[in-house]
């Protein structure tokens, strides 16, 4: 279902004063943020700050202890029971490390959402799957291979093909470049940018990859100390007065990522 003229300007995702506790452990405390249609919004921060927990709350896999999350204007608590709600067809998810089924071929993995949620014929499913595999720049002969026969980068692309196979409006990526070498990670970033433009996607990305943040993120929310320490462009956040945010972006890796992003921008402008 495409957005109507009346809701085109409404945020795709609204997180309102969300708090999360597991027993006595406080993960989030009164987090609020909104994500606009058409942007690549990144959730960043140090290990253990609750990035993936927040993503899972947004898509309805975890219920926050307090607060409200609205996805396409719908309270995410109504999505927590399975994946049968129609709104699930409006977003795709690429879980950390890809989450492919080891006993299925690449093509069978990509086809899973179509087989579970549509009544399309087997022939049409094969055509759609082949198109999505091509869209993520995987060779046709990779379709019959099992995940163990694929490189790490190819497995991520296969998982991305599965995430977009239902033509979603909203795409969630959980640590999409973690563990990939810099060249493969950079190519994956370019692929995400290309698909975002081609398919008109809104992308929500959980990552600690500073190169990805500088290269493709429209805005970034930095989590820490149980709350949102800052939201803005990478340029804005790199000038933050918050010590934790400054340390995150101004360490050796942060400086190197920023310098590389500047060089890449200069090459694109040339």
Q: Report how far residue 253's alpha carbon sits from residue 101's, in angstroms, rounded to the nearest whole number.
A: 34
CA 166 to chain centre: 16
pLDDT, residue 217, reads 96
pLDDT, residue 5, reads 46
Q: What is the CATH number of the domain that holds 73?
A: 3.40.50.300
Same domain, 194 and 75: yes
End-to-end CA distance of the chain: 40
Same domain, 192 and 265: yes
Dump the DSSP string for 59-89: TTSS--SEEEEEETTEEGGGG-STT-SGGGG
pLDDT, residue 244, reads 83
**Domain of residue 152, residue span:** 97-174
Last residue of a domain, one of 174, 202, 222: 174
Same domain, 76 and 190: yes
Same domain, 200 and 258: yes
Alpha carbons within 13 angstroms on the beta-carbon side of residue 47 total: 1
Q: What is the pLDDT of residues 179-200, one digit of tens each?
A: 999 999 999 999 999 999 999 9
Same domain, 71 and 116: no
Q: Can you read off the two tokens belonging to residue 181?
A: 């070498």
Same domain, 66 and 121: no
Q: What is the pLDDT of residues 103-152, one digit of tens each?
A: 999 999 999 999 998 999 999 999 999 999 999 999 999 999 999 999 99
Same domain, 163 and 127: yes
Same domain, 228 and 193: yes
Q: In this structure, is residue 43 part of a structural domain?
A: yes
Same domain, 77 and 135: no
Q: Starting from the edge strand earliest in sequence, which strands make up the sheet with 74-75, in order?
A: 25-35, 13-22, 66-71, 74-75
Q: In this structure, is residue 58 part of a structural domain?
A: yes
Residues 6 or more apart in contact with residue 69 via CB below 8 angstroms:
13, 14, 15, 16, 18, 57, 58, 75, 76, 77
Residues 6 or more apart in contact with residue 78 via CB below 8 angstroms:
60, 85
Q: In this structure, is residue 92 part of a structural domain?
A: no
Phi-psi region of 171 (alpha: psi -120 to 50; beta: other; left: phi over 0): beta
pLDDT, residue 74, reads 86
pLDDT, residue 270, reads 40
Same domain, 160 and 224: no
Same domain, 116 and 155: yes
Last residue of a domain, one of 123, 147, 174: 174
pLDDT along the chain (270 residues), means of 10: 55 96 92 96 91 92 93 80 68 88 97 94 98 97 96 96 96 94 95 96 94 94 94 90 81 56 51
Contact yes or no for 106/138 (Cβ under 8 A): yes
Contact yes or no for 237/220 (Cβ under 8 A): yes
Q: In this structure, is residue 63 part of a structural domain?
A: yes
Domain count within the chain: 2
Q: In this structure, is residue 237 part of a structural domain?
A: yes
Q: Report how far residue 31's alpha carbon sits from residue 137's, in angstroms, rounded to the nearest whole number.
A: 37
Same domain, 130 and 147: yes
């Amino acid at each position: 279902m495409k957005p109507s003229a009346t809701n085109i300007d409404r945020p795709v995702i609204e997180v309102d004063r969300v708090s999360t506790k597991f027993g006595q452990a406080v993960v989030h405390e009164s987090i609020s943020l909104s994500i606009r249609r058409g942007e690549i919004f990144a959730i960043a921060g140090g290990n253990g700050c609750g990035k993936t927990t927040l993503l899972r709350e947004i898509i309805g896999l975890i219920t926050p202890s307090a607060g409200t999350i609205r996805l396409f204007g719908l309270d995410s608590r109504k999505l927590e029971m399975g994946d049968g709600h129609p709104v699930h067809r409006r977003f795709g998810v690429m879980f950390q490390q890809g989450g492919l089924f080891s006993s299925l071929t690449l093509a069978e993995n990509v086809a899973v959402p179509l087989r579970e949620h549509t009544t399309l014929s087997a022939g049409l499913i094969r055509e759609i799957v082949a198109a999505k595999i091509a869209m993520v720049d995987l060779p046709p002969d990779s379709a019959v291979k099992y995940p163990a026969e694929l490189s790490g980068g190819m497995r991520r692309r296969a998982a991305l093909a599965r995430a977009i196979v239902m033509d979603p409006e909203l795409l969630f990526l959980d640590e999409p470049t973690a563990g990939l070498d810099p060249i493969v990670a950079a190519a994956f970033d370019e692929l995400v940018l290309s698909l975002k433009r081609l398919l008109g996607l809104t992308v929500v990305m959980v990552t600690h990859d500073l190169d990805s943040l500088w290269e493709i993120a429209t805005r970034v929310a930095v989590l820490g100390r149980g709350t949102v320490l800052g939201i803005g462009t990478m340029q804005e956040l790199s000038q933050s007065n918050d010590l934790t945010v400054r340390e995150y972006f101004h360490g050796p890796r942060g400086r190197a990522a920023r310098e590389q992003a500047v060089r890449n921008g200069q090459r694109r402008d040339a």
